[in-house]
Amino acid sequence: WARAVRGLLLDVSGVLYDSGGDGGVPIAGSAEAVRRIKASGLKLRFCTNETQATREKFVKKLQGLGFDISVGEVTAPAPAACRILKERGLRPHLLVHNDLVPEFAEIDKTNPNCVVIGDAAENFTYANLNEAFRVLIGMEKPVLISLGKGRYYKETDGLKLDVGAYMKALEYACDVQAEVVGKPAKTFFESALAEMGVPPEQAIMIGDDIVSDVGGAQQCGMRAVQVRTGKYRPCDENHPHVKPDAYVDNLAEAVDIILQQL
């Protein structure tokens, strides 16, 4: 699975670090693994569904944890959503984390004709969900754009509900199918590959999410490896539909194997 590789796509939360209210902690060996990838000459993209902060703030946090990463190396849902909103003349009602709102600064939000939902964390109150519901249910053809569809993620104090659970609630209440912008959407992975200039058969995705990371990448024609860190649980290895090309204990082990094949 590690042969003939020109580019790597790395999930961030659960692969590089475990997030948390204290800023999070790096996973052992992950910062050094990123440095080794860059020194090897392999193309690299950081593919995240992170929607609790702007890319600038997110990258600054990772740099503070010791990672060699820049904003230009990150593929994230919010900028992609903004492109869609502009192209289609959509004016969003935002149900997102307060720290993500600046990503939508140039978007017209008056008289909304769609809803954009992200990982709003504490903003996922009944009142806020109900407000988004009322916007959608009042439309003849409701448009719901979701910045990912993850079920849960891991922080330093345990597992947390992700945006997918709330997205499904709005889908059910409004009889609408959400348009997913982040992982596992095929367009998300395709844009990351295009930014690297690498075809899918020469790229490997490394992630902790069996569905969004592994399944999404494989549907795009990539190989995909699951790490046993982050949200990984042993039951993932018996998933009925998704089978990773390999399991590794952590990013450092994956990089060891890949670099040995170069």
| Ranges of each domain in the chain | 7-49+183-260, 87-180
Among the listed residues 256, 243, 247, the one whose alpha carbon sits nearest the alpha carbon of residue 227: 247
Sequential pLDDT tens for the chain (262 residues)? 999 999 999 999 999 999 887 889 999 999 999 999 999 999 999 999 999 999 999 999 999 999 999 999 999 999 999 999 999 999 999 999 999 999 999 999 999 999 999 999 999 999 999 999 999 999 999 999 999 999 999 898 999 999 999 999 999 999 999 999 999 999 999 999 999 999 999 999 999 999 999 999 999 999 999 999 999 999 999 999 999 999 999 999 999 999 999 9
What's residue 103's pLDDT? 95
Two structure tokens written together for 217: 């990448």
Single pTM value for the model = 0.90
What's residue 193's pLDDT? 97
- Tell whether the torsion through CA atoms of 6, 39, 225 and 158 is positive or negative: negative
What Å distances lie between residue 262 and 3, 56, 137, 165, 244, CA to CA? 7, 32, 54, 41, 21
| Topology given in CATH for the domain delimited by 87-180 | Rossmann fold (3.40.50)
Distance CA 39, CA 184 (A): 29
Task: State which CATH number among 3.30.390.30, 3.40.50.1000, 3.60.10.10, 3.30.450.20 fits the domain covering 7-49+183-260.
Answer: 3.40.50.1000
**Residue 16 neighbours by CB distance under 10 Å:** 27
Q: Do domains 7-49+183-260 and 87-180 have the same CATH topology?
A: yes
